[in-house]
Amino acid sequence: MKYSRDYRSLFVSQLHAAYRVLARDLEAAVPDVDGAEGHMLSYTLRYGPCTVGTLSEVFGVKGATPPGQPDKLERPGLLKRQPNPADRRSFLVAVTPKGERLMRRIGEHVIKLEAGVRERVSDRDYQGFLKVIDAIREVRTAGQGATG
């Protein structure tokens, strides 16, 4: 299908719009970090310490490092770098106690937000939402052709 200006996205633009609403809401509630930084802190808290290369892969950043985000989070003391005992050429990135406290604030806000959404959505609607998300994860178009 050739793209035309009359095309209306069925899923992508709605997901993007919802993400922007969520990001603005979170940034208003917890102005210490933006959405991308919050995601990086959350991932590092859950799966870290991890290498900057791992963060690049997880967040889909091309090149050696995610553009300045670990540095940006290290300056206010939310992340710290430490030597990587498995590879002297790299560092591990870990969340500091200050970063953990910020993540608790973010987590509390997310729990309240999700509870409010859940009150407005039936179990059936939620299952339908999960199906759409799974379908998006399964579809591949960049260089592979569509599947699923």
Q: What is the DSSP string of the chain?
A: ----TT---SSHHHHHHHHHHHHHHHHHH-TTS-HHHHHHHHHHHHH-SEEHHHHHHHTT--SSS-SSHHHHHHTTTSEEEEE-TT-TT-EEEEE-HHHHHHHHHHHHHHHHHHHHHHHTS-HHHHHHHHHHHHHHHH---TTT----
Which of the four pLDDT bands, split at 50, 70 and 90, describes residue 96? very high
pLDDT at 66: 55
Q: Residue 50 forms beta bridges with which residues? A: 93
- Average of pLDDT values for 140-144? 56
- Alpha-carbon separation of residue 139 from 9, 134, 144 (angstroms): 15, 9, 9
- For the chain, the domain total comes to 1
Cβ(96)–Cβ(80) below 8 Å? yes
- Average of pLDDT values for 1-16? 78
pLDDT higher than 50, residue 117: yes
**Domain containing 62: what range?**
12-138
The per-residue pLDDT for range 19-72, each reduced to its tens digit, is 899 989 988 998 988 888 888 999 999 999 999 888 888 887 765 555 577 888
| CATH code: domain of residue 91 | 1.10.10.10
Name the residue with higher pLDDT: 32 or 116: 116
- Pairing of the two strands 91-95 and 79-83: antiparallel
pLDDT at 3: 65
Q: Is residue 5 part of a domain?
A: no
pLDDT higher than 70, residue 98: yes
Name the residue with higher pLDDT: 148 or 2: 2
pLDDT at 12: 86
> How many Å apart are CA 30 and CA 27, to the nearest integer?
5
Q: Is residue 69 part of a domain?
A: yes
What is the percent of the chain where pLDDT is above 70? 88
Q: Is residue 129 part of a domain?
A: yes
Q: Which distant-in-sequence residues (6+ apart) come within 8 Å of 7 by Cβ?
A: none
Q: Is residue 3 part of a domain?
A: no
Q: Is residue 2 part of a domain?
A: no
pLDDT at 100: 96
pLDDT higher than 50, residue 146: no
Both tokens assigned to 101? 């406290």
Q: Is residue 122 part of a domain?
A: yes
